[in-house]
Copies of this chain bind each other. A is one copy, B any other.
Amino acid sequence: MAAKRNGEGDKREQILRAAATVFASKGFFGARVSEIAAKAKVADGTIYLYFKSKEEILAALFALAMTQFLERARGELATLEGAQARLERLAQFHLEQVGSNRDLAIVFQVELRHSQKFMERVSTTILADYLKLIQQVIGEGQAQGVWRKELPASTMAKCFFGMLDEMATNWVLSHRQYPLGDLAPVVSDLFIGGLRAR
């Protein structure tokens, strides 16, 4: 009577998980919907009960992962005092997260950027929230008087993100398998302290 509850409950999630793997290994355009379906153990048509199109799967994947990421990032910051500690934690968290799931990382660092249309969509939604979060932390430090106020916080936030993003992309494209999180202190240090010796 309580039968058939084995793998369902979330076909949608099964599909997303499968999609992450397939997108990562084949790329968005190289990925076949039927392959995603097979890997998710559902019929091809079932995909379309949960997603309007192949593109929507990618979008949903992004939205889901990014939402979780942001949520957890906020959680991480909640327990910390001080702008510097928080920025350092952000770098650590960002790189650890990306480094914790290579498939998803590939999707995020490479596949998600496959078209201007898609990138715009990405930039203007949750990514924008993430940038705002960084900017907030920077703003905090500025307010506390420990960080420079001459430069616009929004541009600096983008710079910080750019550094992390480049580390992530390099890691994804590199064949050596170093722990991505290890770079976090370097990035924080450089970003906060600057290049100049003193």
Partner of A193 from the list B117, B172, B187, B194 (CB cut-off 8 Å) is B194
Those of A156-198 within 8 Å (CB) of chain B: 156, 158-159, 161-167, 169-170, 172-173, 183, 186-187, 189-198
> Which residues in B have their C-beta under 8 angstroms from that of A110?
113-116, 119
**When A152-B186, A162-B165 are in contact, do A114 and B29 touch as well, CB less than 8 Å?**
yes
CB atoms of A186 and B27 under 8 A apart: no
CB atoms of A167 and B163 under 8 A apart: no
Complex CA–CA separation, A189 to B195 (angstroms): 10
> Interface extent on A, as a size class?
35 or more
A interface residues, Cβ below 8 angstroms from B: 27-30, 106, 110-111, 113-117, 119-120, 123, 138, 141, 145-152, 155-156, 158-159, 161-167, 169-170, 172-173, 183, 186-187, 189-198
CB atoms of A113 and B113 under 8 A apart: yes
Partner of A187 from the list B28, B159, B186 (CB cut-off 8 Å) is B159
Partner of A197 from the list B29, B115, B145, B189 (CB cut-off 8 Å) is B145
**Shortest Cβ distance from A162 into B: residue:** B166
> Which residues in B have their C-beta under 8 angstroms from that of A115?
27, 29-30, 110-111, 114
**When A120-B173, A172-B116 are in contact, do A194 and B196 touch as well, CB less than 8 Å?**
yes
